[in-house]
Amino acid sequence: MSWIRRVSNVFRQRRLNREIEEELASHIEEAVEHGRSAEDARRALGNLLSHRERSRDIRLLPWLDSLMSDIVFGWRQLNKRPATSAAAILSLGLALGATTAVFRLVDAVLLRTLPVANPERLSYLAVSFVDREGHSDYSDEFDYPTFRRYRDQATDSADLMVIGIAARQDALLPLSGEPEKINRQFVSGNVFSVFGLQPALGRLLAPYDDVSPGGAPVAVLSYDFWTRRLGRDPDILGKTFRIGNDRFEIAGVGPKGFIGTEPGERTDVFLPAMMNAQAINSPGWTWFRIWMRPKPGWTPDQVGQALHAALLPKQIEEKQRILLLPAAAGASSLQRQYRQSLIILAILVVLVILVACANVGNLLTAQTAARAREMALRVSIGAGRWRLVQLVLVESALLAVASSALGALFAEWSAPLVVSLLRMPEDPVHIVLNVGWRELGLGIALAFLVTLIFGLTPALRASAAPPVGSLKGGEDPRSRRRLMNAMLAAQIAFCVMVQFVAGLFVTTFQRLVTRPLGFSAEHVLVMDVSATGEQPLASWIHVADALRQTPGVENVSLAGWPLLSGNGWTLNVRVPGRPAEPRSPYFLDVSQDFFATMRIAMRGGRDFRPGDVSGSSGPGASPPSVGIVNESFARTYFDGGNPVGRWVDVRRGQGPYTPLQIIGYVRDAAYRDLREPIRPTVYVAYGARTNSALLVRTTGDPLALAPLLRQRVAEAGPVFRVGTIQPQSNFVRWHLLRERLLAALSAFFALVALVLAAIGLYGVLHHAVTVREREIGIRMALGARPANVIRGVTGAAIGVVCLGLILGSCGGVAAGRVVQALLFEVKATDPEALTIPALILLGAAFLAALPPALRAARTDPAQTLRSE
């Protein structure tokens, strides 16, 4: 009880003082009552103040008391140097915030384990292969026949699971008239039991739900969806809802916190894999990942070997191999798309924080000149060594807490912003960002450590050195300058590395954005239209014509899929009398007016017209007999000559070659991916299909027309249903997402690092001028010219900056190798990639050096010498 009171007494000092005073006063009164004179009594009692101090120290915790006063004092100290303190807090705070944000993202996307039993024992299958260009790659999506083969091979050694790729689909929920998009995931019947999950309501899917195709139309809702969309309705069990054309009965609700297996997606309903009935017996239709948990007594390697026996002879011939990838943190395309980018961002952000640490170190060290005197004064009036250390500790803690708070705020704001950059706004990424206590704690610790290391040195030095030296102002600043220069060099080196990598990403983004597409994506609306059953070309043309009548529509055409949708279709092509090309050209089935709608210029020949035999991309269709080719095709197959009227042989799969006549010749346009060079492409005539992309070129804002167009399609025929409608420009932007993220974040980091490096350089020079003011004054009094003075002050710094530049450039080139795979048409070894960051840095260095240099040059010798 006593020390609690002593702690509380620290905070009630005024009252405590008053009590002690009152007691002493009553003592004197008592003495007066007993006939002594007040003066005598007071003299007998001695120095009242010192009594009060002694009694006070007994009745409270002196260390806490001094700590309190240190905090107040430390705060005053920080306030006294607002520029330095703000710079330190800002730079550490920004760097900490960026780090926290990036690491929270890394945690959410790559590291956080799924809330399932023994996640570390889970892995998912992939097949590695070498593509036609010789790049090694892997695919992790499988078809059901392959899954059966693997499952039969590994029955004894492992539980194999179908984990469907989460996909958005139209659904009609109970008590709701409007169809809405929900995220569904097909899973095999053993998934929930292997994951060790318990239902929050009803039951989960079981093996008996997953026996025959289309056999058990039941669904399990995710707890999140049940809460978000259905308000935790307990009577939901047994009700039915529709997804697409199928009706499902709600069997249960999954456990709280389990939102599927794909970081970035949030699954709303889980359906039995067998309910994807059409896909069950379709080889080549890949729609799920295969997850695996070894049975007790089996290692993943042994299972992998067992599975290897299930590879087809052709796969073994092509040296394909089964990979088992860890699935503890789930598996998603988001991870695959961003894994490398996130790791690179994490490295960049660590570099930024190193720059910030060096920066704060320099700022604090630069204060030492002023600080050393204060410390010496404290030592000379009797402050103990521990007292000085405590003073510095408190200041460090204040800096650390302030910058961490700033960092936490910044992270809170920026992390969701970064998440929103990961995908298109229409299809946002759903990830749960943890509060990040761990990162925050680490941040505070780091900030504390940095400020402490650099703050403690002057305290220890001052308390160790005889105060006289410092008070005389004659201490040796050289050792400190060496430390500052080393930190400055490191800071500039890290900064150059960040600049360099950021430059590569920004250039990549620019090259991709300004890359000629060959078509105009502006004012084009892509409507995803599906039909019940296959519809003949005439019906589709009828829909297109109906849209064409709409005011504001300039042109309409049909395509198997829009350009840059990520889809692609190839057929083998050979030109009689020429050796075969290593890569097959792309094919795309399009209707009349496709080139006019997309603004792809015709170079020769004619457009498709009614009566051209179609070459549908659908399975089992006959090979096309007429086609329009692009310039790249003409270059590759006809050495750049006009291909119109020429014949080529086309083969579908392993079928026979059939002749195809080239009737038209168009300019190159990007087809599948923005990054790949434009490949030879054959456009073939449109035919009967179950679904189409309707491409609508409008005169005004395309999205404004969307509701009207949707209605027109419905009027054109009851068999047609409109899915998503989005501008063609979305498909272009979609290809730029990762590059945009990398460019934006790395440019931000580069800016922060640059500002920090500039502040650091300024601090060092400012300090150099401050400690040498007297020397400069003497030199100028003896006739030194300002130019000489400036050279003397900045000479060392220029050397340090150059050293940092060289080190950073070396580091940058090394780092460039690592990021090469993410770059487009830019190499880490390009001369401009290195010179631009160097020039930017030199520019910043010049600006940072200017004020201290001018100050040195303007030194008034008379004034300086007089002030000493």
Partner 1 sequence: MPKNDTLQGSLDLLVLKVLSKRAPLHGYAIIGAIEEVSGEVLRVEEGSLYPALHRMEEAGLIRAKWIAKGPGRRARVYDLTPRGSKQLASEEARWTAVADAVQRVLKFA
- Contacts with partner 1 by CB under 8 A lie at 2, 6, 19-20, 22-24, 26-27, 29-31, 34, 41, 44-47, 51, 54-55, 58-59
Encoding tokens for residue 12?
A: 């009630």
Give the nearest distance from C-beta 45 to partner 1 in angstroms. 5
In the bound complex, what is the minimum distance in angstroms from residue 377's beta carbon to partner 1? 30
Give the residue among 40, 71, 261 at the shortest CA–CA distance from 166. Answer: 261
Q: Whose Cβ is closer to partner 1: residue 52's or residue 148's?
A: 52
The whole-angstrom separation of Cα 806 and Cα 492 is: 9
Tell me how far, at minimum, the Cβ of 21 lies from partner 1, in Å.
11
The one-letter amino acid at 284: G
Nearer to partner 1, 49 or 175 (CB): 49
> Rounded to an integer, what is the distance from CA 417 to the centroid of its chain?
10
* The token pair that represents 106 in the structure block: 């890394």
Decide whether 31 or 840 has the Cβ nearer to partner 1. Answer: 31
Q: In terms of CB distance, is 40 or 832 closer to partner 1?
A: 40
Nearer to partner 1 among residue 30 and residue 832 (C-beta): 30
Cα dihedral 843/848/849/851 (nearest 10) = 130
To partner 1, the closest distance from the beta carbon of 62 in angstroms equals 12
Minimum distance between the CB of residue 6 and partner 1, rounded to whole angstroms?
7
Please tell me whether residue 463 adopts helix, strand or coil conformation. Answer: helix
| Smaller CB separation from partner 1, 45 or 435 | 45
**Minimum distance from residue 9 beta carbon to partner 1 (Å):** 10
Among residues 484, 857, 543, the alpha carbon closest in space to that of 692 is found at 543
Structure tokens belonging to residue 272: 């039995």
Bridge pairing between strands 123-130 and 136-139: antiparallel
Q: What is the dihedral of CA 569, 570, 571, 573, to 10 degrees?
A: 140
Closest CA to 274 of 220, 216, 213: 213
Residue 19 beta carbon to partner 1: minimum distance, rounded to whole angstroms: 8
Query: Would you say 22 or 152 has its CB closer to partner 1?
Result: 22
Q: What is the DSSP string of 145-197?
A: HHHHHHHHHTTTTEEEEEEEPPEEEEEE-TT--S-EEEEEEEE-TTHHHHHT-
Neighbours of 773 (CB within 10 A): 19
- Nearer to partner 1 (CB atom), residue 2 or residue 212: 2
**Structure-token match 């521990």, residue found:** 386
Q: Which helix (H) or strand (E) holds 697?
A: strand 689-698
Return d(Cα 598, Cα 594) in angstroms, integer: 6
Spatial distance between the Cα atoms of 66 and 393, rounded to a whole number of angstroms: 13
User: What minimum distance in Å lies between the beta carbon of 54 and partner 1?
Assistant: 5
Q: How far is the CB of 37 from partner 1 (least distance, A)?
A: 14
Residues 376 and 371: their CA atoms lie apart, in Å, by 8
Instruction: Please state, in angstroms and as integers, the Cα–Cα distance from residue 17 to each residue in 9, 47, 69, following that order.
Output: 10, 15, 16
Q: Where are the beta strands (DSSP E) in 757-819?
A: none
Residue 32 Cβ vs partner 1, minimum distance, rounded to whole Å:
10
Instruction: Provide the minimum distance between the beta carbon of 17 and partner 1 in the complex, in angstroms, as a whole number.
Output: 13
Write the Ramachandran bin of 284: left for phi over 0, alpha for psi from -120 to 50, otherwise beta: left
Intra-chain end-to-end CA distance of the chain, in Å: 55
3-state helix, strand, coil in the chain (%, to 5): 55, 15, 30
We find the least distance from the C-beta atom of residue 51 to partner 1, in angstroms, to be: 6
* Element of type H or E holding 774: helix 773-781
- Closest approach of partner 1 to the CB of residue 108, in Å: 53
Nearer to partner 1, 41 or 346 (CB): 41
Task: Indicate the residue among 33 and 133 with the shorter CB distance to partner 1.
Answer: 33
Nearer to partner 1, 23 or 301 (CB): 23
Q: Which of these, 246, 198, 194, 196, lies nearest to 220 by C-alpha position?
A: 198
420 and 467 in contact (C-beta within 8 Å)? no
Residue ranges of alpha helices (H) inside 231-332 are 277-280, 300-308, 313-317
Residue number, 28 or 220, with CB nearest to partner 1: 28
d(CA 348, CA 350): 5
User: In terms of CB distance, is 57 or 156 closer to partner 1?
Assistant: 57
For the CB of residue 38, give the shortest distance to partner 1 in the complex, in Å: 13
Q: Which one, 24 or 433, has the nearer CB to partner 1?
A: 24
Cα-flanking dihedrals φ and ψ of residue 20, to 5°?
A: -65, -45
User: How many other C-beta atoms lie within 10 A of the C-beta of residue 386?
Assistant: 11
- Residue 202 β-bridge partners: 252
Least distance in angstroms from the C-beta of 20 to partner 1: 8
Which C-beta is closer to partner 1: that of 20 or that of 559?
Answer: 20
Look at residue 706 and give its three-state secondary structure: helix
